[in-house]
Amino acid sequence: MRRFLPLALFAIVLVLSGAAPAGAVTVEKVVSPGGIEAWLVEDHSNPIIDMEVAFRGGASVEPARLPGLAYMASGLLDEGAGPYDSQTFQGKLEDMAIELSFEAGKDNFRGHLKTITDHRDTAFDLFRLALTKPRFDAEPVARIRSQILAVLAREQQSPDAVAALAWFKAAFPGHPYGVPTRGTPQTVKAITTADLKTYVARHLARDNLVVGVTGDITPAQLGPLLDSTFGKLPAKAEAVTVPDVTPKAPGRIDVITRDNPQSTAMFGQAGLKRDDPDWYAGYVMNYILGGGGFSSWLTEEVREKRGLAYSVYSYLEPLRHAGLIIGGVATRNAEMGQSLALIRDQWKRMRDQGPTPQELADAKTYLVGSFPLNLDSTTSIAELLVTIQVEHLGIDYLDRRAGLINAVSMADVRRVANRLLDPAALEFVVVGKPQGVTPAP
Amino acid sequence: MTNRVVKLGGILGLAGILATPLPAAAQMFNPTTYTLSNGMQVVVVENHRAPIVTQMVWYKVGSADEVPGKSGLAHLLEHMMFKGTSAVPAGEFSKIIARAGGRDNAFTAQDYTAYYEEVAADQLELAMKLDADRMHDLSFNQHDFDTERSVVLEERRMRTDNNPGALLYERMEAALFLNSPYHRPVIGWMREIERLTRDDALAFYHRWYAPNNAILVVAGDVQPKQVEALAEKYYGPIPRADTPVRDRLKEPEQVAPRRVTLRDPRVEQPALSRLYLAPSYHYGDQDLGAADSAYAIEVLAEILGGDPTSRLYKELVVKEGLASSAGASYDPTAWDYGTFSVSATPRQGVNLDKLQAALDKVLNQALSQGISPEEVAKAKERLKASVAYAKDSVETGAHVLGEALCTGQTTADVEDWPKRIAAVTPEQVNAAAKKVLDRRWSVTGRLLPETPRPGAKPLPPIESSREIR
């Protein structure tokens, strides 16, 4: 075997310890000898290493005829790879207490690896095998297929899931976002081993890869591991154009009858993508409207004043090709009409009146002050590193974030509320036997 | 356990952590403990990764301490604890914490009720001031009580009545516990929650809430000395009270296996599960085995159904192809009984009788042929390895220690867990299996669509609802 001198390892260290929100967290950009980049937060207080990865694409780039393909592939990468069949591979993970898993979402295909330092090299090697040499043997393919069919059947028992599937289907006709990420029983049964191999070969590549690492590892140790783990991936993922799309939300109310004592609703309309200049204004506005738990208007009006729900909320969902503001509520059938009317009222109130200066100030205080609470485990920090990269927020994001939120003015909030919130066009899917709710096509 | 707010993302995280039997390793959490003069126990776990801190106040009272006819009272009181004191108006608690950049919540289980705040380290004093205040000065009006009871009824509909799997699990527990107060669901029976009164809640509060019946757990970027001083300042002045001694009804000898079948038109995915009565870390008897056999049962659960190479998964899912998933779990953290559970989800077209026969075959084999020393050694290693992660998050140590102290354990018990697992012998595992896997002390639950159809599809493996977060 040819020996060569290792190339210099580039470790660009950006010290972000600075003041406020990130606290003591220091993000380092590590570029391997082979040119693979990862962001790293070193933490040697426990002998644990966590790596999170994302491949841009996810379910949105799977063939239109095969919804659920990316999800099924994600379930099979750790079910046998390279020389190891499924039971051997899983046995190695268990024996060394290595966590290794994959999950496909609408926009990204994500991977998770967590290991104690002693098993670091084995863990990264198993991750490499899973990504580059998955076996897709007949037994695990049949088994994972049966598990997904069970998941789909169980989703049909869950009013939340039923409402969400129907909402996305109606909002995104003809677009990958309208298709169930986990597929349908028909498509899941139709997926072949060849389809799975093709998805992995085309969509897990170096150019759509993002890596975040946290824990007991130095840049010098991580660099070579990046090359050995990801170096064998194809250089480029297949280009698939997913069009930008605006959700169709003309103000319909769709009722799906289920013999439940309580009706469950999902509601929403067009929101903001993550790179929208109004993102931070929208984020602050939504906190006051429905994002802030007991500090939010929806909770105050629906739960605290009237006892109509245990949970009512809204949030911004920034997909890569569409922005959404969506929410949920569950209320006994007899009063569901009242809950939906109250939600529309708050939508209107935010658009027409906006919050008080105190509410705006409180929202900003919370959103800035609570951020470090997210840094409470190696996994949560590594996930944050991936999100920052996937959304192109910049390596100095942790230092800039507080300023971006504090800069949101009342005029910004009023503008974004006026731009987004249209109570008449709010789109509802209700699952249950609601009273006082008239379906509107 | 049921709590005031569903934490959407957080639920599974913590449930996952607690589903693995993970109390600490020696030097794992390394807590500092002391007791205030009024009897309140204080536990500090240092973790200096980020400048954040979690304060938890655990009360040693839960749904199993309610009196018959008042089910759901412990949980409803948990909700009312946010409804005001003479210093803090109703609904303000969470807003004050939020304005300080913090989050707060609470949860109720069979043996405890806990309240917590996650805040920046320099806001610990605020959190203490607020929780100390409501420990002794709760007051709320009739209107807020009525409204909150409606909220809890909605919570019950959402968690249980809208969910056939949860409904079956509730009825299985009711069938498993013939006499123990674990018989009733933490959230309460609908018809009893509806009849709870403001006076019931206040009486329960005055009866059980006192510093000598509470445990303060503080975890994060703090120094034990600093926590001690703050705890003395805020909790120290609260007078102790005569709280009741827990003396709960116990199970009679169980002689008949029970089967609970829920047929529900909403079911799309059938499921099979079984609960066995078992000892806990704190309670054991001649029928179930001594409390210290809990460690052997943990090893047994790992071997039978802890992961994808366990016996149940390997046989039912991989080899026989009858189930899409299968597993076993054991919850030993209880003042009274623990529960050992097995479950399987049938693949499409597999009927539950056939699946149950295959499941019983695996269990019977474990009994007749025994568990090998190699399996025991491997399972012990796996359990020990899982401990490595326990120290990673700020919340885990606080939660594990608080729960242990509310269910009759000591911090030393928690810290010794790895040693006790390491000491388990194959003989102990086999003896424990014979005690625990006794059908007479069990309930088998079957979830089915209302109209039995040939080739019906597979429900979620029943998860322990000891803690519904």
Produce one character per residue of A400-418: b if its CB has 16 or more CB atoms within 10 Å, e if not: ebbebbeebeeebbbbbbe
Nearest CA in chain B to A371: B101
Task: Give domain status of residue B125, yes or no.
Answer: yes
Cα B252 from Cα B148, distance rounded (Å):
37
- Which amino acid would we find at residue A87? Q
B51 touches chain A (CB under 8 A): yes
Q: Does the beta-carbon distance from B392 to A86 stay under 8 Å?
A: no
Contacts of B91 in chain A (CB under 8 A): 294, 300, 304
Nearest-Cα distance to chain B for A374, in Å, is: 10
Name every chain A residue with its beta carbon within 8 A of the beta carbon of B378: 95
Mean pLDDT of chain A: 93
d(CA B316, CA B322): 6
Q: Does residue A382 lie in a domain region?
A: no
DSSP E strands in A165-311: the ranges are: 209-215, 253-257, 262-272
Task: Give the DSSP letter of residue A179.
Answer: S
Q: Under an 8 A CB cutoff, do A143 and B321 touch?
A: yes
Q: Of A405, A399, A407, which Cα lies nearest the Cα of A19?
A: A399
**B455 is a domain residue:** no
pLDDT for position B3: 57
**Residue bearing the bigger pLDDT, A102 or B307:** A102
Longest dimension (CA), chain A: 77
Of B52, B120, B317, the CB nearest to A376: B52
For residue A182, the model assigns a pLDDT of: 97
Here the tokens at position B91 are: 């609904």
Quick check: A11 pLDDT over 50? no
Active site residues of B: 78
Torsion of CA A170, A172, A175, A178, to 10 degrees: -60
Verify that B191 and B292 share a domain, yes or no: no
Q: Which pTM does this prediction carry?
A: 0.92
The answer as to whether A394 is a domain residue is no
Cβ of A358 under 8 Å from any chain B Cβ? no
Q: Would you tell me how many other CB atoms lie within 10 Å of the CB of residue B467? A: 24
Query: Which pLDDT does position A165 carry in this prediction?
Result: 98
Residue B96 touches partner A, C-beta closer than 8 Å: no
Q: What is the pLDDT of residue B5?
A: 52
Q: What is the CATH number of the domain that holds A181?
A: 3.30.830.10
How many domains in chain B?
2
pLDDT over 70 (residue A3): no
Contact A373 B118 (CB under 8 A): yes
Pair of tokens at residue A428: 């509802």
Q: Which of B167, B200, B234 finishes a domain? A: B234
| A389 within a domain of the structure (yes/no) | no
Chain centroid offset of residue B16 CA: 11
Q: Cβ A362–B99 below 8 Å, yes or no?
A: yes
Calpha distance B65→B75 (Å, rounded)? 11
Q: Are residues A333 and A200 in the same domain?
A: no
Residue A5 lies in a domain: no
Amino acid identity, residue A280? Y
Confidence check: pLDDT of A243 > 90 = yes
- Which residues span the domain enclosing B141? 2-234
B461 Cα to chain A: minimum distance (Å): 11
Residues 6 or more apart from A400 whose CB is under 8 A from it?
A394
Range of the domain at A335: 253-373+408-432
List A residues 239-268 in contact with B (Cβ-Cβ < 8 A).
258-262, 264
Q: Hey, what are A209's tokens?
A: 């890869």
- Angle of the B373-386 helix axis to the B426-436 helix axis, nearest 10: 90
pLDDT digits (tens, 9 = 90+) for A264-273: 999 999 999 9
Task: At A287, give phi and psi (nearest 5°).
Answer: -55, -45
- C-alpha to C-alpha distance for A146 and A142, rounded to whole angstroms: 6
Interface of A with B in 20-39 (CB under 8 A): 23-25
Cβ contacts of B261-264, under 8 Å, gap ≥ 24: B261/B445, B261/B446, B261/B448, B262/B164, B262/B167, B262/B168, B262/B171, B262/B445, B262/B446, B262/B447, B262/B448, B263/B448, B263/B449, B263/B450, B263/B452, B264/B164, B264/B167, B264/B447, B264/B448, B264/B449, B264/B450
Claim to verify: residue A421 and residue A312 sit in the same structural domain: yes
- By C-alpha distance, the chain A residue nearest B395 is A376
Total structural domains in chain A? 2
The pLDDT score that the predictor gives to residue A61 is 97
| Contact yes or no for B135/B209 (Cβ under 8 A) | yes
Within a domain: A397: no
Confidence bin at A69 (pLDDT 50/70/90)? very high
The C-alpha of B102 sits at a distance from chain A's nearest C-alpha, in angstroms, of 5
CB contact under 8 A, B269 and A153: yes
Query: Does B179 lie in the same domain as B71?
Result: yes
Strand boundaries in A117-248, DSSP class E: 209-215
Q: Per residue of chain B (469 residues), what is the pLDDT tens digit?
A: 455 554 332 222 233 333 333 333 446 799 999 999 999 999 999 999 889 999 999 999 999 999 999 999 999 999 999 999 999 999 999 999 999 999 999 999 999 999 999 999 999 999 999 999 999 999 999 999 999 999 999 999 999 999 999 999 999 999 999 999 999 999 999 999 999 999 999 999 999 999 999 999 999 999 999 999 999 999 999 999 999 999 999 999 999 999 999 999 999 999 999 999 999 999 999 999 999 999 999 999 999 998 899 999 999 999 999 999 999 999 999 999 999 999 999 999 999 999 999 999 999 999 999 999 999 999 998 888 778 788 888 889 999 999 999 999 999 999 999 999 999 999 999 999 999 999 999 999 999 998 745 554 444 333 333 333 3
More reliable by pLDDT, A26 or A234:
A234
Contacts of A292 (CB under 8 A, 6+ apart): A299, A363, A366, B98
Q: A423 — phi, psi (to 5°)?
A: -55, -35
- Measured CA to CA, the distance from residue B71 to residue B185 in angstroms comes to 8
B143 touches chain A (CB under 8 A): no
Residues 189 to 228 of A: which have CB under 8 A from any B CB? none
